Every structure is written in C-alpha cells, then in structure tokens.
Structure 1
Amino acid sequence: MATIGMDKLYYAKITEGTDGDETYATPTQLAKAIKADLTIDLAEATLYADDGTAYVVKEFKTGTLSLGVEDIGAQAAQDLTGAVVDDNGVLVSAGEDEGAAVAVGFRALKPNGKYRYFWLYRVKFGIPAANLQTKGDSITFQTPTIEGTVMRRNKTDSKGNHPWKAEVTEGDAGVSDATVTGWYSQVYEPVYTAPPSGT
C-alpha cells in the first residue's frame, strides 16, 4: 500500500457502559498531522503433529501508534493524557495523570489521488514527547510526538468479533460514496449482511 501523504487526524472520546462496551462521541480534529507509524504485535502459536507443522495461529495482540503532529492543543492534551487546565489557563500534567482510551481516525493519500481512510477503535496515549532546540543559522521546526497503545475494542460487531481497525480506500469496488463522505461524522461501525435463515 503505497501512500504519499496523510491528513485529517481525528479522535473520538469513548464512554464505556456497565458491560464495558464502547460508545463513541462525535469525532474531533486532533491536530495537523505530520506522520503516523503503526506497528502491530501478534500472538503466535504453532502446533506440531506427525513431525510437521499442523496449525499456525497468528492473532492481533496489541499495537503501537506514534503520531507526529504540528501541535497538541490544551483540549486534546486533556482528553488524551488526563492533564488539566488550571484557573489561569495553564496546562498542568501530574504524575497521577492517566488519559482515557479514544478512537483515532485519519486518511492517507495514494499516488492515484484516492485516499485510504482509517479508524483505530481503541488507543490509549501516554505523555507527548517534546523536541526543543535553540535557533541557529537555519530554521528547524520542532514538533511534538505522541505515542499510544492500540487495543481491540470490548464491543463486538455483528459477527461476534472485537475489531481493532477499520480501513477503506475510496473508489474500490463495493465502497459507497456515503461511506467515505461520512467517515469523520462518526466512528465507523462494521456492517455485515445477515446470513439467510436456516444456514
């Protein structure tokens, strides 16, 4: 999947019900995106039988999302990291802060001019890293990076699975315009046609 750009970085706050299932708030733009690195860890197991490999299982375990952004505003910092703004408008981070998990959406531009859209259903961020440097003979931009752990969501889809990511490329077969144009109006929920009764 070759891509040449990335933009429209959004997040949606999560409310958990008494059963742990997620309900997503209306997505909010996080910041101007610079870079996103997503790495995935798999749980793997191999069963050997009759002197050979009988089964290999590879399942999603967790992931890491590292976002380079232009800036993280005070509201996003509160929502993502648990920091608070005091009475003087100062953002204060404490050792006891713990941000809540959020859904994260963004899109990546492909060489053909179409976009690939993503939602990561449950990401828990840590404290943003800051890079600071004095100005020398030339100007060098320093931008924050925030890293989060990607998890599967508690809420099951209609197949009984726990999704961790949704992605779609505009213009692909079977992709409606409404799916793409409404991508940021709400966190995408998987839709499956129910199997015929009796099967």
Structure 2
Amino acid sequence: MAGVQVGLKNLYYAVLTKDDATGVSYLAPVKIAGAINAKISPKSNTEVLYADDGPDETATALGEIDVEFEAKDISLTDQAALLGHSIVGGVMLKKATDAAPYVALGFMSKKSNGHYRYIWLTKGMFALPDQEYATGEDKPKFQTPKLKGTFVKRAYDDLWQRIADEDHPDYVASIGANWFNSVEGTADTTPPTVTVVPANNATNVAVGASVNWTFSEAILASQVSDSNFFLIKDSDGSAVAGTLSINTARTVVTFTPGANLSAATAYRAICTKDVCDLAGNKLAANSVTKFTTA
C-alpha cells in the first residue's frame, strides 16, 4: 500500500567542497536538531514550438529549486556553516563580505503506511533569514527559525536530488542505515558474485530439489524474472516450469519447480550476467550450473 508523507525528522546538511568535471566531494553531514518542516519547490522552464498554426513540440528544462526548512533552533555554529559567517570567542560575526557556501540538505519523512522516505538535495545555497523577536505574553508563542535557499543541479553529473523509499522493492535496510553517513553513499564498483546450490556437476540431486542462487551482496529485486533466472533440461534446452522468489535481504533467489524433476536427468540452472547489485554493477559473466538428478 502506497503512503503519503506525514512526518519529518533527521535534518542534515553537508558543505560541498568540490563540484567540477573531475568529481564531487562533501564534508561530513551535520545534524540540525528539531526538524519541523521542509518544502521543496522545483521550477521548470517550458518552451512550445508552433507549426502549422498550432503547438507542435514542447521542451522542458529544470530551473532552480526553491527550498525552505524550519527547525526548533539553528545553532550559531550551524548558522555560521550554512551562511558563511564566523564565530569568535563564542560570538557570531556577520560581515557584508560573508559568502554562503554550497551545501547538500538531507532528511527523512515518515509515510502513512509506516515506511520512510529518505532525501538528499545535492547542491544549494541559503540566504540570510528574517529575524523576528517578540516579548513574552500570557500565552506562550513559539518563535522558530526558518532558512530559505536555492538549489541547483551539480556541475559534475547534473544530479540534484537522491530519494529512497523503504517500501520500494529494491530497497534494503543498509540504504537507510547509511543514508546520513554521506551525501553520496558508499561508492560500489565491485560486481556481485554468485554461488549455486546444487553445485556445478553435482550428482544424485533429489528430484524435489529447488535451485538457490546466493549473491555476495543485495541485487535488484526487479531483475528477478524468468528471463534472468531459469532451469532447463540439458538434453534439449526445454525450460522447467516453476516459480521464483527472493529473500528480504535481496541476496538469495530461489527457483522452485512446479513438479518433481525427472529422475537420472541432467539440468542446467542459469543466471544471466544482466543481474545487477544495487549500485548497478552486473555479474561478470553468465552463471551456468549443471547437475544431474538421482
């Protein structure tokens, strides 16, 4: 069941230190305590081409992204980091020459179905906030700070936002557990590996056996299909009917035949090299495992 956003917590920022054709880097993310709300408003620029007395084609390009957040408090340390001010002897100094740095902004939002959405905006700059103060009254009135900023796409790769949903079929717990450790997440360029049961060249395999592919890391659940995982008879290449399933950790795929396999018969269990890990790294080669039933 899909859910709508009903909450906000864990507001983080990370100062962008590099963004050019050679790469991108950030300082370690810093948490702003007491997140109240956040608003993201992307703008798009659309042009319409008219031909033969009517609209013929349209083209749309991403413009700037307006961002606003409100928190219980924004400490002087965080204000200085976000707006380019300095702190001397416990006093924040604001100068006309101060320049706000580019930062990333991240948070998580609870959905009505109980799952969370995780968000990073990758590059933006915040403006000086309004300052409003009021005397105490008989009825308490909370005064909470807001910051408004403008975000853009990165020069390195055009990326402007990262989003993960806990209820997406390819989500694994490690995504949320590491979301605020870095803006980019852990770089993964290593292809997954796979082991298969029954093992290659196994004999006397039970006719009621299933086939298990166990991967070295989580794979994309969306790729678990009969075009990537299948069992065939070795003699004629005919496909064995059955069902595929994947465990919650996304590391084990199981093929369960719809009926017992034929006795004393050779089979091949195949997993194609199109299967990817969560970072998009494919298997180095097709996995082909031959076994013979008892």
Q: TM-score range by the shorter chain?
A: 0.7 to 0.9
Deviation at 1:19, TM superposition (A): 4.5
Unaligned runs of 5+ in 2: 188-278, 285-294
Corresponding residue of 2:61: 59
| C-alpha distance 51-193 of structure 1, shift in aligned 2 (>3 A) | farther
C-alpha distance in structure 2 between counterparts of 1:94 and 1:11, whole Å? 22
C-alpha distance in structure 2 between counterparts of 1:21 and 1:154, whole Å? 9
TM-score (norm 2): 0.60
Which stretch shifts more, 115-124 or 24-33? 24-33
C-alpha distance in structure 2 between counterparts of 1:132 and 1:20, whole Å? 46
Structure 1 SS opposite 2:79: helix
Structure 1 SS opposite 2:82: helix
- Structure 2 counterparts to residues 42-191 of structure 1, below 5 A: 42-86=44-88, 88-156=89-157, 162-188=158-184, 191=279
Structure 2 SS opposite 1:154: coil
C-alpha distance in structure 1 between counterparts of 2:91 and 2:24, whole Å? 31
2:5 is the counterpart of 1:22: no
Deviation at 1:155, TM superposition (A): 1.3
C-alpha distance in structure 1 between counterparts of 2:48 and 2:171, whole Å? 36
The percent identity for this pair of structures is: 28
Deviation at 1:130, TM superposition (A): 2.7
Deviation at 1:173, TM superposition (A): 1.1
C-alpha distance in structure 2 between counterparts of 1:183 and 1:73, whole Å? 23
Unaligned runs of 5+ in 1: 157-161
Cα deviation, 1:22-51, whole Å, max 9, x if unaligned, reads 212221102321111111111211122233
Q: Which has the larger radius of gyration?
A: 2
Deviation at 1:17, TM superposition (A): 5.8
Which stretch shifts more, 99-108 or 72-81? 72-81
Structure 1 SS opposite 2:8: strand
| C-alpha distance 192-48 of structure 1, shift in aligned 2 (>3 A) | farther
- Structure 2 counterparts to residues 26-45 of structure 1, below 5 A: 26-45=28-47
| C-alpha distance 11-176 of structure 1, shift in aligned 2 (>3 A) | same
**Count of equivalent residues:** 189
| C-alpha distance 111-18 of structure 1, shift in aligned 2 (>3 A) | closer
Aligned AA for 2:149? G
Aligned AA for 1:75? T
Partners of 2:17 and 2:24 within 8 A in 1: yes
C-alpha distance in structure 1 between counterparts of 2:178 and 2:120, whole Å? 12
Structure 2 SS opposite 1:5: coil
Deviation at 1:53, TM superposition (A): 2.6
C-alpha distance in structure 1 between counterparts of 2:59 and 2:280, whole Å? 25
C-alpha distance in structure 2 between counterparts of 1:180 and 1:50, whole Å? 52
Deviation at 1:166, TM superposition (A): 0.9
TM-score (norm 1): 0.87
Cα deviation, 1:83-130, whole Å, max 9, x if unaligned, reads 1112x3101111221110001100111111111110000010111223
